[in-house]
Amino acid sequence: MTTLHVRLRWLSWHRPRLARWSQVGLIVLLWFACDQCVRRLHVPVPGSVLALGLLLLLLLSGVVPAVGLRRGADWLLAEMLLFFIPAVMAVWQHLPLLRQQGVRIFVVIVVGTVLVMGTTALLVDLMFRWRQRHAR
């Protein structure tokens, strides 16, 4: 186990590109396996979320060290913008709808976001202060 950790750390430092691509490949493989399982066995959880859970378990149990995933996982998260640009282009198919209801949709999003942010922040602050008072 420890030799694996040492080797992965070495790889991450000395061959960052190789480490990144092999880690991305491994995450893709894990996701693909989970996705197929979910499809075949009709599990009610999406494949990507199952893969997330498995990965988290592997990390928590120490089977896979965080250093063995860092480069790949961080790359996937950083480049996520690129992955949903094609999804955004679907706007072309919905242009008539957006022309008709776009302003109203925008209002709903802006007002809704203010409400969500306000609620979240005030709840967290209240809970945080309540816990602090009771800790003493």
Partner 1 sequence: MRAELLSLVWLAVTVGGYYALKPVYRRHPRWWTSPLLTVPLLLALLGLPLGMNYPVYIQDTHWLVLMLGPATAAFALPIFRYRALIRAHWPALMAGVLGGSAMAIASAWVLATWCGLDDSVRRSLLARSITTPLAMLVSADIGGVPELTALFVVITGVAGIALGELLLRCLPLRSALARGALFGVGAHGAGTAKAYDVGTEEGSVASLAMVLAGLLNVLLAPTLASLLR
Query: Looking only at residues 63 through 82 of this chain, which bind partner 1 when binding is defined by CB under 8 A?
Result: 66, 69-70, 72-74, 76-77, 79-82
19 to 48, contacts with partner 1 by CB under 8 A?
A: 24, 27-28, 30-31, 34-35, 44-48
Q: Which of 40, 104, 133, 136 binds partner 1 (CB under 8 A)?
A: 104
Tokens of 14: 């000395």
For residue 18, the minimal CB distance to partner 1 (Å) is: 18
For residue 16, the minimal CB distance to partner 1 (Å) is: 16
- Taking each helix axis from N to C end, the angle separating 70-78 and 80-88, rounded to the nearest 10 degrees, works out to 30
Which listed range, 2-10, 12-20, 101-109, lies at the site for partner 1 (CB under 8 A)?
101-109
18 or 105, CB closer to partner 1? 105
Contact call for residue 13 and partner 1 (CB under 8 A): no
Which has the closest alpha carbon to 24: 76, 61, 86, 60? 76
For residue 40, the minimal CB distance to partner 1 (Å) is: 16
Total site size for partner 1, rule CB under 8 A: 73
Gap between the terminal Cα atoms of the chain: 43
- Calpha distance 35→17 (Å, rounded): 27
- Calpha distance 132→62 (Å, rounded): 33
Contact 47, 38 (CB under 8 A): yes
